[in-house]
C-alpha cells in the first residue's frame, strides 16, 4: 500500500504532444462556447457584440477557469488527457497542486495578454509574437511549459495517474474533416445544378401538360404574346416557361373599336 501511495503522488513528466493536444482542446472549447454564445444574439442587429467582443471573450474564459482550473488544477483539455498542473515552486518531490495565487496568476496571464492584444497597438502585438516564438523554442528543447504563463507562475503538466498507456484517438478530428470536406463539396456543386429545370421537369411529370390553349401561369391567356428566337410564326417552336408545354398555332384575335 505504501508503494502504491508513492506512485500515486509521484510526479511523472508529460509528453510534449500531450501538452500541445491539451492546449488545442482548450482552444476548441473556447471557440465552441463563443459560437454558441454568439448564436444567442443572431436575431439582433448585426454587429451588436463587436464593440465588446474582447471583454466578452475574456469573461467566458474566466468562467471556464472558475469551474475547471480553479478547483481541480487542470483545464478541460488536460482532464481529458489525464494531465494536471504541478506546483514546481514546491521543494517536495511529490505532487503538489497549484496554490491559489498561482491559479489567479495563470488566469490573469492567460486572459490579460489576449485582451491587450485586441485592444493595443501593433507594437505590443509584435512583442508578444517574439515572446511566444522564444517560448516555443525553449519548450521544444526542455519539454516543459508550452505556454509562457505556465513558466512564469511555475505550473508544470504531469500525469494524474502513473504508468498510463497513451490512447490516441482521432475520431473527432476525422469527423470534422469529413464534414468540412462535404460542406466544401456542396458549396462548389450546388451552384452547378439548374434547379428551375428540375422543378419544371418534376411539375410536368406529376401534373402532366396543360391544355395547349392555356398559358402556364394561372391558366389564362397571355397579356402580351410575343415570339422568341424566330421572326416567322409559321416555324416558331415555343414552350411555356412554367410547365414546358408546346404552344399551338396562333389564333386570330378580333378587336372591336367603339367610335366616340
Q: What pLDDT is recorded for position 121?
A: 63
Average the pLDDT over each of 121-135, 203-217, 221-235 and give the range with the smallest value: 221-235
Task: Give yes or no for a contact between 16 and 24, defined as CB atoms under 8 angstroms apart.
Answer: no
Task: Give yes or no for a contact between 68 and 79, defined as CB atoms under 8 angstroms apart.
Answer: yes
* Most confident by average pLDDT, 104-108, 195-199, 231-235: 104-108
At 211, is the pLDDT very low, low, confident or very high (cuts 50, 70, 90)? very low
**Mean of all residue pLDDT scores within the chain:** 78
Residue among 248, 253, 252, 249 nearest 212 (CA):
248
Grid-cell match 492567460, residue found: 110
Burial class (CB in 10 A: 0-12, 13-18, 19+), 153: buried
Cell numbers linked to 190: 450546388
The end-to-end CA distance of the chain, in Å, is 119
Average the pLDDT over each of 7-16, 70-79, 107-116 and give the range with the smallest value: 7-16
Q: What angle do CA 26, 77, 130 make, to 5 degrees?
A: 50
Render pLDDT for 28-46 as a digit per residue (tens, 0 to 9): 888 988 888 888 888 888 8
Other residues' Cβ atoms within 10 Å of the Cβ of residue 202: 10
Can you tell me the mean pLDDT for 61-85? 88
Is the pLDDT at 223 greater than 70? The verdict is no
Task: Give yes or no for a contact between 25 and 76, defined as CB atoms under 8 angstroms apart.
Answer: yes
Q: Which residue has the higher pLDDT, 120 or 8?
A: 120
| Widest pairwise Cα distance in the chain | 120
Q: What 3-state class would DSSP assign to 8?
A: helix
What is the model's pTM? 0.52
Q: What pLDDT is recorded for position 259?
A: 67
Amino acid at each position: 500500500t505504501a508503494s502504491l501511495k508513492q506512485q500515486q503522488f509521484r510526479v511523472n513528466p508529460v509528453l510534449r504532444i500531450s501538452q500541445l493536444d491539451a492546449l488545442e482542446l482548450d482552444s476548441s472549447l473556447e471557440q465552441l462556447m463563443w459560437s454558441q454564445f454568439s448564436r444567442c444574439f443572431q436575431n439582433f442587429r448585426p454587429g451588436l457584440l463587436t464593440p465588446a467582443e474582447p471583454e466578452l471573450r475574456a469573461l467566458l474564459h474566466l468562467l471556464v477557469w472558475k469551474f475547471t482550473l480553479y478547483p481541480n488544477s487542470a483545464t478541460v483539455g488536460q482532464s481529458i488527457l489525464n494531465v494536471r498542473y504541478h506546483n514546481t515552486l514546491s521543494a517536495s518531490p511529490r505532487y503538489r497542486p497549484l496554490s491559489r495565487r498561482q491559479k489567479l496568476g495563470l488566469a490573469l496571464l492567460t486572459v490579460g495578454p489576449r485582451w491587450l492584444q485586441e485592444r493595443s497597438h501593433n507594437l505590443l502585438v509584435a512583442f508578444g509574437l517574439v515572446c511566444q516564438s522564444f517560448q516555443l523554442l525553449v519548450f521544444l528543447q526542455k519539454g516543459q511549459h508550452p505556454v509562457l504563463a505556465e513558466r512564469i507562475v511555475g505550473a508544470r503538466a504531469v500525469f494524474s495517474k502513473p504508468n498510463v498507456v497513451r490512447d490516441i484517438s482521432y475520431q473527432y478530428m476525422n469527423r470534422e474533416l469529413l464534414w468540412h470536406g462535404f460542406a466544401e463539396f456542396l458549396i462548389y456543386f450546388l451552384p452547378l445544378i439548374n434547379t428551375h429545370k428540375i422543378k419544371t421537369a418534376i411539375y410536368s411529370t406529376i401534373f402532366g401538360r396543360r391544355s395547349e390553349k392555356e398559358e402556364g401561369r394561372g391558366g389564362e391567356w397571355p397579356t402580351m404574346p410575343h415570339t422568341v428566337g424566330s421572326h416567322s410564326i409559321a416555324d416558331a417552336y415555343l414552350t411555356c416557361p412554367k410547365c414546358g408545354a408546346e404552344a399551338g398555332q396562333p389564333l386570330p384575335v378580333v378587336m372591336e373599336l367603339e367610335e366616340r
